[in-house]
């Protein structure tokens, strides 16, 4: 058994249960949305932190729901790649995983109430819907993750909507500027889900899932993932050419080695363990790209 699949001990059990490589998908869009807001209002930093921690908690809880329901449906086992492994490798009771996920949701809800109090109570509806999607992504009788729409939901709710909410709570409205800049974030978060489903295609198919990767086939799934990457970079280049954003946002190009390596690895390897680094590179592409985009906006504002 590889080192990656060995049982963990102590705090590592709980840390891996959150699937930390996915948590950056929450941090990056909150940061981007706040940098967009900088162009319209003074930043309320307590609101920023509340939004950031609420999103991180919801993402971690969503991962725990995933762990719980995949185990309950018999999809996870000791050799499964890309899972926290708290249940199948470390002996944590499924009930404990579910309780911890619900606790994180409760804390996120309290933070959400503070955010609504400081901005708009209309966000209660948006927040409740986002949390419901987080649960039903792998929970309920018809999990979203088991359908071809997983990328659509994750890209919209985690990639685009978080950017727009992070801007809204600071500005009080959603400028078109924010919508335009949230598009690459949506595509790259969808890419994280697609890369995960491409890696797990064989196991998912055996488990009865009908993900996009299964529907279109592995080769086409990799091509779609490459298209997500290409469109994201070209989108920013186009916005620079149209003078919607300053050339500072071209800092995103510094991240381009990650997606190139991810696609290359996916095309050369098929074994789940061997392509795991491609999944990691896809997640890092989202983090680095969106973070650099935010930095580019920050530099464009002050310089």
- Residues 39 and 56: their CA atoms lie apart, in Å, by 25
Residue 8 pLDDT > 60, yes or no?
no
Most confident of 92-106, 212-226, 266-280: 212-226
Q: What is the mean pLDDT of the chain?
A: 89
Classify the C-alpha dihedral 280-72-94-154 as positive or negative: positive
Ordered alpha helix ranges (H), the chain: 11-17, 20-37, 45-72, 94-118, 123-136, 150-154, 162-171, 176-199, 201-206, 212-216, 218-241, 257-268, 272-302
Cβ contact 245:296 at 8 Å: yes
Report residue 89's pLDDT band, with 50, 70 and 90 as the boundaries. Answer: low
- pLDDT tops 60 at residue 252: yes
- Could you tell me the pLDDT band of residue 256, with boundaries at 50, 70 and 90? very high
Cβ of 165: how many Cβ atoms within 10 Å? 24
Separation of CA 293 from chain center: 16
Contact between 211 and 47 under an 8 Å Cβ cutoff? The reply is no
Average pLDDT estimate for 55-63: 90
Average pLDDT over residues 42-51: 96
Which pLDDT belongs to residue 3?
42
Region of poorest pLDDT, from 26-35, 128-137, 198-207, 220-229: 198-207
| pLDDT cut 90: percent of the chain above it | 68
């Amino acid at each position: 058994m590889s080192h990656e699949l060995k049982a963990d001990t102590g705090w590592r059990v709980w840390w891996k249960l959150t699937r930390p490589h996915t948590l950056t998908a929450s941090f990056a869009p909150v940061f981007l949305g706040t940098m967009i807001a900088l162009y319209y209002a003074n930043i309320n930093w307590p609101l920023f932190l509340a939004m950031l921690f609420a999103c991180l908690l919801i993402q971690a809880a969503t991962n725990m729901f995933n762990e719980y329901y995949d185990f309950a449906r018999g999809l996870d086992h000791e050799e499964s790649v890309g899972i926290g492994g708290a249940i199948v490798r470390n002996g944590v009771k499924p009930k404990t995983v579910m309780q911890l996920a619900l606790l994180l949701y409760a804390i996120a809800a309290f933070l959400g109430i503070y955010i609504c109090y400081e901005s708009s109570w209309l966000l209660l509806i948006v927040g409740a819907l986002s949390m419901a999607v987080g649960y039903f992504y792998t929970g309920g009788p018809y999990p979203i993750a088991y359908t071809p729409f997983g990328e659509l939901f994750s890209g919209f709710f985690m990639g685009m909507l978080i950017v727009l909410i992070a801007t809204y709570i600071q500005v009080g409205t959603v400028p078109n500027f924010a919508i335009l800049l949230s598009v690459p974030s949506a595509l790259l978060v969808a890419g994280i889900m697609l890369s995960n489903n491409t890696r797990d295609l064989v196991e998912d198919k055996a488990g009865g899932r009908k993900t996009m990767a299964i529907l279109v086939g592995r080769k086409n799934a990799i091509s779609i993932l490459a298209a997500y990457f290409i469109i994201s970079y070209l989108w920013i280049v186009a916005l620079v050419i149209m003078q919607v954003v300053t050339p500072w946002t071209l800092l995103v190009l510094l991240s381009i080695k990650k997606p190139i390596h991810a696609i290359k690895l996916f095309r050369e390897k098929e074994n789940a363990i061997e392509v795991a680094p491609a999944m990691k590179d896809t997640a890092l592409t989202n983090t680095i790209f969106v973070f650099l985009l935010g930095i580019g906006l920050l530099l464009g504002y002050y310089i």
